[in-house]
Amino acid sequence: MVRMKMKKKIDIEIIDKKQIPQSEPERQYYFMDIAKNYVEQLAAKKGSPLTFHVTTFGCQMNARDSEKLVGILERIGYVETDTEEADFVIYNTCTVRENANNKVYGRLGVLQNYKKKNPHMLIGLCGCMMQETVVVEKLKESYRFVDLIFGTHNIYKFAELIVTAMESDSMTIDIWKDTDQIVEDLPVERKYSFKSGVNIMFGCNNFCSYCIVPYVRGRERSREPKEIIREIEQLVADGVVEVMLLGQNVNSYGKNLKEPVTFAQLLEEVEKIEGLERIRFMTSHPKDLSDELIEVMGRSKKICKHLHLPLQSGSSRILKIMNRRYDKEHYLELVDKIRAAVPDIALTTDIIVGFPGETEEDFEETMDVVRKVRYDSAFTFIYSKRTGTPAASMEEQVPEDVIKARFDRLLKEVQKISAEKAEALTGQTLPVLIEEQNEQDASLVTGRLSNNSVVHLPGTADMIGKILDVKLTECRGFYYLGERADGNGQTV
């Protein structure tokens, strides 16, 4: 850990630390008590509770990590506020594409102004972007007002890092290259009472040639199945009806455990948990999607009718250079098998346009897969050069105008197919998990179908967290309007 200078930044009575526990999570609970004392001291001086705001960039993994940050901040006495004009602001960052990084630098300028008005304010940065050496160098150089920087491997140490940052007068930086440690049983504050993400594994071993994730999230580590089941049982006891099992590549779950378990076997165990109604998972890699998993999905009563299966490119030539380890034919075969086992499944995907060396023919192969698979929706990305990845040094980067034209063609096709597919469900009555009151119209609530599509319907806050039958009365492109129905499809 690097501490730039030693002088107390904020005015607190520093607690003498004796007998710091060496084992986790006890050590973190010890630091939470100390941090709580500091927060109380500062709140007494301020005359009101200290506030915090966590801003999350990136994927579901980051969203879950942010819930862990919030859990600790609330436990030590901070109160959440919905503005970034707070006593403690954390950015949980993403670095999968360059523009994610640029957004963070832009917003840091705004935070600096808030800090000028509130000198006791703490600014923390964590997440994937912090695992890049160039980023930390730039922050040390030009963003000296940042108080705390940590990465993806030591987020469990947040309480200890808060104490360090509060006691020091300068930037506290703690970045680890990798870890094999998984710390269980730390506080978590869920965003939704009725659904939750559950980490089942961390890291990624795939090294797709365009992707920075293996460099910032480290090697694959799976949690023990019994820890996962115990966590889900506790969540269900606490009112959760839907879980999203999270990992960069869930299909290779369990391979590195002392007693190896497959992802399909884990799903079967999760299915047995009484009271749990829906199971989702993210993200699947086509190369590791097994027949066993397809079978389990076909049999399951709880696994949602949705599979996110990133394609990236439809060209076998490009897939090879991307190091994806499947080709167009294998991908299309997988899709056929899944549709045969789960006929009403929604398929979604990620596609990159403009990977180095992508020709018009390669791009047409991608369009061909899009037309053949007919995705329910697709996230389309313009290739972003990530320093340190093999693709960044490949020659033949595709000109920007060519990429833009291809991207527009792809998006148009994807949207046309999505709208046609969505229309096909209109008139059906299907179960919807009601998730929130509609932001624009308080007389409506918003929920999701098993296939992950969004439905708005007239309703009240007491419906939130319940799974109700809803008749889809109208399709509006990528969402539906609906009405509550009884079991016979009659609206009520």
Count of chain residues binding ligand 5AD (CB under 6 A): 12
Amino acid 49 reads P
The residue among 150, 293, 312 whose CA lies nearest residue 216 is 150
456 contact choice in ligand 5AD, ligand SF4, none (CB below 5 to 8 Å, kind-dependent): none
User: Around Cβ 200, how many Cβ atoms within 10 Å?
Assistant: 23
DSSP H or E stretch at residue 410: helix 400-423
CA distances (Å), 458 to each of 179, 205, 430, 436, 479, in order?
48, 46, 16, 12, 15
- Cβ 34 to ligand SF4, closest distance in Å? 30
Window of 16-24, 144-152, 265-273, 383-391 that interacts with ligand 5AD by CB under 6 A: 383-391
Query: Phi/psi at 491 (nearest 5 deg)?
Result: -70, 150
End-to-end CA distance of the chain: 61
- Cβ 380 to ligand 5AD, closest distance in Å? 9
Q: In what order do the strands lie in the sheet with 51-56?
A: 2-3, 172-174, 148-150, 122-127, 88-93, 51-56, 79-80
- Interface residues toward ligand SF4, by CB under 6 A: 58-59, 61-62, 94-96, 127-128, 213, 216-217
For residues 215 and 326, which CB has a smaller minimum distance to ligand SF4 in the complex?
215
For residues 132 and 358, which CB has a smaller minimum distance to ligand SF4 in the complex?
132
Label residue 58 left, alpha or beta by phi (over 0 means left) and psi (-120 to 50 means alpha).
left
User: Around Cβ 421, how many Cβ atoms within 10 Å?
Assistant: 19
Window of 29-37, 144-152, 379-387, 456-464 that interacts with ligand 5AD by CB under 6 A: 379-387
Question: Buried b vs exposed e over 284-294: b needs ≥16 C-beta within 10 Å?
Answer: bbbbbbeeebb
235 contact choice in ligand SF4, ligand 5AD, none (CB below 5 to 8 Å, kind-dependent): none
- Cβ 352 to ligand 5AD, closest distance in Å? 5
Interaction of residue 397 with ligand 5AD, rule CB under 6 A: no
Amino acid 7 reads K
- Residue 304 marked ligand-binding: no
97 contact choice in ligand SF4, ligand 5AD, none (CB below 5 to 8 Å, kind-dependent): ligand 5AD
- Cβ 265 to ligand SF4, closest distance in Å? 25
Pure H helices in 198-346: 213-217, 225-237, 263-271, 291-299, 316-321, 328-341
Tell me which residue has its CB nearest to ligand 5AD: 350
CA atoms of 301 and 285, how far apart (whole Å): 23
For residues 96 and 432, which CB has a smaller minimum distance to ligand SF4 in the complex?
96
Interaction of residue 350 with ligand 5AD, rule CB under 6 A: yes
For residues 32 and 391, which CB has a smaller minimum distance to ligand 5AD in the complex?
391
CA atoms of 92 and 55, how far apart (whole Å): 6
- Residue 475 marked ligand-binding: no
* β-bridge partners, 455: 447, 480
Question: Buried b vs exposed e over 328-363: b needs ≥16 C-beta within 10 Å?
Answer: bebbbebbeebeebbeebbbbbebbbbbbbbeeebb
For residues 217 and 223, which CB has a smaller minimum distance to ligand SF4 in the complex?
217
DSSP H or E stretch at residue 405: helix 400-423
Give the x/- contact pattern for ligand 5AD in 63-102, rule: CB under 6 A: ---------------------------------xx-----
324 contact choice in ligand 5AD, ligand SF4, none (CB below 5 to 8 Å, kind-dependent): none
128 contact choice in ligand 5AD, ligand SF4, none (CB below 5 to 8 Å, kind-dependent): ligand SF4
- Cβ 136 to ligand 5AD, closest distance in Å? 20
Among 293, 352, 475, 485, which residue interacts with ligand 5AD (rule: CB under 6 A)?
352
Interaction of residue 386 with ligand 5AD, rule CB under 6 A: yes
Interaction of residue 131 with ligand 5AD, rule CB under 6 A: no
For residues 222 and 312, which CB has a smaller minimum distance to ligand 5AD in the complex?
312
Q: Which residues are annotated as a binding site?
A: 59, 94, 128, 204, 208, 211
**Footprint of ligand 5AD (CB under 6 A):** 96-97, 210-211, 310, 312, 350, 352, 381, 383-384, 386
Q: Which residues are annotated as a binding site for [4Fe-4S] cluster?
A: 59, 94, 128, 204, 208, 211
